Structure 1
């Protein structure tokens, strides 16, 4: 994988943890179809107190206000007609809006035509790496389908009409697509493209940014790419991509980010990188520098507190790294791993169309993997826990019961523990997970438990408030790193700061109430003693 190497050369001192290394607006940003009516297609911000304004022509794109609409008109005037034409020939209402991949490529083509094929913008786009020579037949077939969709979306009768967009051959068209493609929710998108996320890391769509595409990959990155959406950034500059240091970076050290989910075990990471980006990772995490990877671990069978590497089909012998006890039930562990992975795949497929079925699958599978001895950081237990947590949160209702709330808190706590073992301190995924745990602990209990001396989780009453406060403080410290110190932790960090202040007041009121009660208790008359 031939890419330019980003290095840091500072005359004073290297950037520290939480430093913003690069900040830029992406060349193109496109929302996924499901977010078109809830987010602005110009700044990509969510609808807040005001309602979004819809384009009266295509009826598909929404904006915060006239200012955002005017800023986007440069591109939407082409897109608007294309969406209308596409909808008029769509076989069903579900297919009336083209995919984000097609809309993204359309915006690239229109911008290149308007700015000129020799413009700096076009040169940056065309300089991004194409993986056409290394594409597998199945991927090439997907690219071909995407190419036909693009021709139709641009309103051309054949690929010959692409000449004005700088595409003179079928190879050029595949290059254009492969420069812009990666797998996201099982669809081929763009190799040099990044997932557009909300400040809380929810995937919203895709972006293309050539400067950020120059950065190489590591499964143990020293930097992350985020969309903090800090208040000090005006909406006209949003969405704003930023490269943030997760640790101090030495002079001349290469800056590396992760292209994939690094909580996955090594084999799955390598498979994902090879299928999507056509290279094998040789970072420290992949080259075996870890004696025991928490992503592939189980608890000691003798409960000494140590962990063991997972058995494999090739080598089912494993023992505790601490007390050296041998795991005897390796076949049962391997069976649980197979069942867990199959169930995870099924739950991921049905989570959108049948959330109840997905919750049923995750609810049944998690206890099986726990009983097999898997640690919270181990795959697929961590993935199932995170999915179960997100499903529970999305199903929250006003009549939420104490049991549902407590189960959700336990799931968030388990996934947070797993993430903390796999990700570096300050990683935004860790910070957001801690923020979710703290916010869940701060939710008013529908039916607080009676005072008890038993140690349980989650706690109840004042102890729960204290736990919420401590968790939110930790979350803020990590968000401060992952979303940039200069951003004050981004939008999520600023929200958590407000939650901390609110809890401090609540805890203060409770503490003052206790003191008042104590003061009102009559003191014994020592003269009568």
Structure 2
């Protein structure tokens, strides 16, 4: 099913990169149009600007007042949570406090009664910011929004924080947040049978975007629940449970969480004897761990624990530095990845999988206009490791897995700056020349097959699926040229030999 969110807003850093009405990127060959009054939100055209005005007119005034009283330029724009809550409250007034629109907002689950102290503190801070943003000075002034007390405001904030979805590009890059009460009724599972995506349909005009799509990954029997995941399912159980408890107030009892696995691929080491099996991570309480296949013990569990601690610390630091100092973040990931790999951590395990993904993002962002073969090949190897790690965790058709395959295929299809030569070329990865193009083609074909599941078959796998299809067609033509060229060269050689007097 596909529904327009009740409310969606862009994150502050993306306000000048995407349209605040349809969430589309800046049009090719032209920039976005800025609101001339608040100078904060942007639109791809006058149609989107006019459509959004019913929502933006109150917001526009609030943004101007907020900026006028901000202590610094960095704080001149309120965060996306404040802006989203503002639109919810103004929307309730616009649609009517007794309208189905407002009732659906109130029907969303609140976990106010089970808030952790840290969460209650953040809710209180957010409540003060919302009050300032609305421009009210007393609880009585909140009544027109359907809020009769400070507790009602905290309840709204709790419903908002536990039911907000991430607004993304078609390729899953986060660009904002949104609220869609109908889809928020879906319960959680760490092994979900459905996903939330924003594929952008070719048949839908920008006036209908953004559209939130709920897409099933596998057949669901009649009477069974449609379940999505509230957290990143590539994380180990302890981290998933921690986030679910802190943000959503419950402990997950899904099959993935209650099933006892000999070794979770999210927390596993390769067999020290190389039998192909895996070993569960050692812990402080139980350092003895063995291969589940051949029973070989890990010889130095303390070294593994040290590597995992160093890896988690480095991942946290590199994530914080990703935008502030990407070069330093890339240096950090480059230094730590070999440590985790040398410790025997499998590609699907945390924190190696997350760091591999971050390293890939940093490498792609830093690719210079004139590529070096070494940099391109390192990026491809990193993308291949990340994709392999995901395939051990996520089912076929999962959009995250499909996007990773597509990224790998696109990187393999990039023209080689200086193709290597020598006797060992055939054995290296990534390959070079026609084998490289063939691998790119195979990766993109697999990616498109999975996108038809994870982003919906009805519209060709969404915008990204259509782009991948076009890339496949281009590669087919390029491979055809290679094949024809080789065939012609062989025919010429044969003809030359047959026509030679010495033969």
TM-score by length of 2: 0.97
Corresponding position of 2:43: 63
- 1:396-429 Cα distance to aligned partner (Å, 9 max, x none): 1202211110000011100111111111110000
Matching residue of 1:137: 117
Alignment RMSD, CA only? 1.2
Sort the Cα spacing of 1:128 and 1:160 in 2 relative to 1 into closer, same or farther, 3 A.
same
- Aligned-residue offset at 1:206: 0.3
Q: What residue in structure 2 maps to residue 165 of structure 1?
A: 145
**SS of residue in 2 equivalent to 1:422:** coil
Match of 1:523 among 478, 492, 497: 497
CA distance in 2, matches of 1:243, 1:289: 30
- State the Cα distance separating 1:258 from its structure 2 match: 0.5
How many equivalent pairs are there?
499
The Cα of 1:526 is off from its aligned counterpart by 8.8
| TM superposition shift of 1:146 | 0.7
The 5 Å alignment of 1:332-343 reads 332-343=303-314
Shift of 1:361: 1.1
Q: Return the offset for 1:160.
A: 2.9
TM-score (norm 1): 0.93
Deviation, structure 1 residue 158: 2.9
User: Is 1:193 the equivalent of 2:164?
Assistant: yes
User: Quick check: 1:506 aligned with 2:478?
Assistant: yes
Select the residue among 291, 297, 312 that pairs with 1:320: 291
Alignment-derived partner of residue 478 in structure 1:
450
Structure 2 distance, partners of 1:438, 1:324, is 38
**Are residues 1:248 and 2:232 paired?**
no
Query: How much has 1:290 moved relative to structure 2?
Result: 3.1
Alignment correspondent of 1:407: 378
In 2: Cα distance, 1:397 partner to 1:84 partner: 39
Match of 2:133 among 153, 177, 183: 153
Does residue 462 (structure 1) correspond to residue 434 (structure 2)? The answer is yes
Q: How does 1:482-493 map to 2 (within 5 A)?
A: 482-493=454-465
Q: Which residue is equivalent to 1:353?
A: 324
Q: Which of 277, 280, 291 in structure 1 is aligned with 2:251?
A: 280
**Residue 7 of structure 2 corresponds to residue 35 of structure 1:** no
Q: Closer, same or farther in 2 for the Cα pair 1:96/1:526, shift >3 Å?
A: closer
Q: Deviations over 1:97-122 (max 9, x none)?
A: 11000000000000111221111101
Matched with 1:266 is 237
- Counting only pairs closer than 5 Å after superposition, residues 45-444 of structure 1 correspond to structure 2 as 45-49=24-28, 50-181=30-161, 191-444=162-415
How far did residue 93 of structure 1 move? 1.2
Distance (Å, rounded) in 1 between the aligned partners of 2:182 and 2:363 = 38
Q: In structure 2, what is the Cα distance between the partners aligned to 1:286 and 1:468? A: 36
Query: 1:452 and 1:120 mapped to 2: Cα distance?
Result: 70
Q: Greater RCO between the two (CA within 8 Å, min separation 6)?
A: 1
| Deviation by residue 1:8-40 (Cα, 9 ceiling, x = unmatched) | xxxxxxxxxxxxxx2100000000011111100
Q: Is contact 1:449-1:461 (8 Å) kept?
A: no
Distance 2:139 2:52 in 1: 27
Distance in 2 (CA, whole Å) between partners of 1:34 and 1:97 is 10
Q: Is the 8 A contact 2:9 2:177 kept in 1?
A: yes
Offset from partner CA, 1:86-145 (integer Å, 9 cap, x none): 000111111111100000000000011122111110100001111111111211111111
CA contact (8 A) 2:262 2:292 kept: no
Tell me the CA shift for residue 72 of structure 1.
0.4
Structure 1 consecutive aligned stretches of length 4 or more whose deviation exceeds 6 Å? none
1:26 aligns with 2:5: yes
Aligned to 2:400, the other structure's residue is in SS state helix
Quote the Cα distance in structure 2 between the aligned partners of 1:278 and 1:24: 27
Judge conservation of contact 1:151–1:159 (CA < 8 Å) in 2. Answer: no
How much does 1:528 deviate? 5.1
SS of residue paired to 1:485: coil
Q: Can you give the 5+ residue segments of structure 2 that lack an aligned partner in the other structure?
A: none
Instruction: Work out whether residues 196 and 215 of structure 2, in 8 Å CA contact, stay in contact via their aligned partners in 1.
Output: yes
Secondary structure of the residue aligned to 1:487 is coil
CA distance in 2, matches of 1:411, 1:344: 16
* Distance in structure 2 (CA, Å) of the matches to 1:519 and 1:527: 18
Aligned match of 2:23: 44
What is the aligned counterpart of 1:496 among 468, 475, 479?
Answer: 468
Q: Deviations over 1:449-477 (max 9, x none)?
A: 12545411111111100000000000000
> 1:217-248, CA deviations, whole angstroms, 9 ceiling, x for partnerless residues?
00000010110102112111100011111011
Query: Contact between 1:194 and 1:208, CA under 8 Å: does it hold in 2?
Result: yes
Contact kept? 2:217, 2:398, Cα under 8 Å: yes
CA deviation profile, 1:342-377 (whole Å, cap 9, x unmatched):
111111111111111111111111000000000000
